[in-house]
Amino acid sequence: MTKKLLAVTQKDLKLLYRDKGGFFFTFIFPIIMAVFFGSMMSGSGGIKGISLQVVDADQSVISKAFVDKLDAAAELKVVLSDEATARETVRKGKAAAYLILPKGFGEAKGNLFSGKTATVQLGVDPKRSAIKGLLQGVLMSYAAEDMQSAFTDTSKMSTQINKSLAEVRQARDSGELGDNDKTDRLLDFLDNLQEMVDTDSFNNTSDGNSTVGNTADDNTSEESQFNGFQPLIIETQAITVNRDGPPSGYDVSFPQGILWGILGCLSAFSLSLVSERNQGTLSRLLVSSANRSTILAGKALACFLTIIFIAVSLLLLGKLVFGIQIKQPDLMVLSLVAIGFCFSGLMILFSVISKSEKAASGITWAAMMLMAMAGGGMIPLAFMPAWMTPVSQFSPVKWSILALEGPMWRQFSLIEMLPVVAVLFGIGMVSFLLGVRLFKWQSSST
């Protein structure tokens, strides 16, 4: 039986390599995709509902108000979390980014003209680096909104000016500020501004809640540098590997390229069984000593080997030419076996479902497109509507990309990899068994 199985495998591999169209879509097209999208990875697009893990370590009124503002933003889908969970969630690719509002954020956020500027820490999934700039812009715009509202609230404004005057004077007197001219000009500006706020010329005068002049005992001398009206400082943090920094776009595009190669392979092998049925070779095989399971297993093995070959070739090309990272080769082997098994099983199911070559081509490509779209094989999931996230759980492409990225740069542990490969093995096994059962039923009833 093994010899017959291997004979089917060898024959199918020969046929694939001699079919120019099949060869192109299986081997050449994925390389083009990987290189092209790798070089384009810095591009951006309209974003809705970026999943953002927010850690409010400050728990102040101001920090809570800022979180509420982010939560209400259409561009963001905020989930409150603790720091460890937030980092893990992003590292595993389950959220696009995390944002940490550190202790003191609220107090610093109140500083307008002096003192330490509010700082946040932003970590973005390297695979979605295109959204980093956009997230920074969104955060800055909301922080600037707060600043703008402070300028229009005279009581807040007056308090801030007094606070800043005290801080700057203290810093000047202690010699912390070297450029006296600049300091004097800043003090003049703050004095004039205070006068403006205290007169009717500045709209909405104090309503009695003002805390004007109450800044003497503010102990902020160590933070007295003039902050230049910057609403927020965003410190970006590298995800996954603290030592090596974020991976390149090729680290993202090559897994996608591998998946495209696998999908091409799936299409070619799905068609092969239908072609055999139509041209009569399947009948000839069924009359021979080979049984149905052997024939299907031989085809699945050919598909599996081709998938492994595609993946290894692209990973080698990516590593040698484009410098992609493969940090855990042992786990990568596990991933490749799981991916190969998954798509070989799917190939059998697709090939058995289809009655004609046209139907096989249509069904396979439609399924491939759906899987690729839903699984982030075409457009990263971060750029898709929020409802796509649960849908993507059903796409083997999503799990395959995760299985590739885990050992490449997400630095998944074996425990973290196991659920991913289990899903892939499960899909492959169910599909193969369904395919064999359907094939036997079809063969005996038609």
Partner 1 sequence: MPDILILDQISKQFDQSKVINQLSFSVKGGEIFGLLGPNGAGKTTLVNIMTGLLNADQGTVTLFEKHAPGDNFARANIGLASQSLALYEDLTAAENLRFFGKMHALEKTALKTAVSQTLAVVGLEDRANQRVKEFSGGMKRRLNLAVAILHKPKLLILDEPTVGVDPQSRNAIMESIQTLSDQGHSIIYTTHYMEEVEKLCDRVAIIDKGQLVALDSVNGLLQTHGKNHRIRYSQNNKVITVDSDNPLQKIRELLNSEQQARISNLSVQSPTLEQVFLNLTGRELRD
The residue ranges that bind partner 1 (CB under 8 A) are: 3-4, 7-8, 10-11, 14-15, 18-19, 279-281, 283-290, 443-444, 446
Sheet (strand 50-56) strand order? 76-80, 50-56, 97-101, 119-124, 233-237
**Phi and psi, residue 177, nearest 5°:** -100, 120
Q: Which is nearer to partner 1, 185 or 437 (CB)?
A: 437
Can you tell me the distance from the alpha carbon of 400 to that of 192, in angstroms, rounded to the nearest whole number? 63
Can you tell me the distance from the alpha carbon of 231 to that of 415, in angstroms, rounded to the nearest whole number? 42
Those residues whose C-beta lies under 8 Å from the C-beta of residue 296, and which sit 6 or more positions away, are: 273, 348, 352, 432, 435, 436, 439
Nearest distance from residue 277's CB to partner 1, in Å?
A: 10
Those residues whose C-beta lies under 8 Å from the C-beta of residue 207, and which sit 6 or more positions away, are: 155
Nearest distance from residue 340's CB to partner 1, in Å?
A: 24
Task: Return the SS3 of 382.
Answer: helix
Can you tell me the distance from the alpha carbon of 242 to that of 231, in angstroms, rounded to the nearest whole number? 28
Q: Which is nearer to partner 1, 166 or 295 (CB)?
A: 295
Can you tell me the distance from the alpha carbon of 148 to that of 172, in angstroms, rounded to the nearest whole number? 28
Nearest distance from residue 270's CB to partner 1, in Å?
A: 17
- Residue 223: DSSP 8-state: G
Nearest distance from residue 279's CB to partner 1, in Å?
A: 6
Nearest distance from residue 444's CB to partner 1, in Å?
A: 6
Can you tell me the distance from the alpha carbon of 332 to that of 308, in angstroms, rounded to the nearest whole number? 11
Nearest distance from residue 282's CB to partner 1, in Å?
A: 8
Q: Which is nearer to partner 1, 182 or 437 (CB)?
A: 437
Can you tell me the distance from the alpha carbon of 91 to that of 125, in angstroms, rounded to the nearest whole number? 7
Nearest distance from residue 290's CB to partner 1, in Å?
A: 5
Q: Which is nearer to partner 1, 265 or 339 (CB)?
A: 265
Q: Which is nearer to partner 1, 249 or 298 (CB)?
A: 298
Q: Which is nearer to partner 1, 116 or 440 (CB)?
A: 440
Task: Return the SS3 of 286.
Answer: helix
Nearest distance from residue 439's CB to partner 1, in Å?
A: 13
Q: Which is nearer to partner 1, 239 or 282 (CB)?
A: 282
Which is nearest to 412 in space by CA: 422, 423, 401, 403?
Answer: 403
Q: Which is nearer to partner 1, 152 or 281 (CB)?
A: 281
Token pair of 362 as six digits: 């249509």
Can you tell me the distance from the alpha carbon of 425 to that of 238, in angstroms, rounded to the nearest whole number? 32
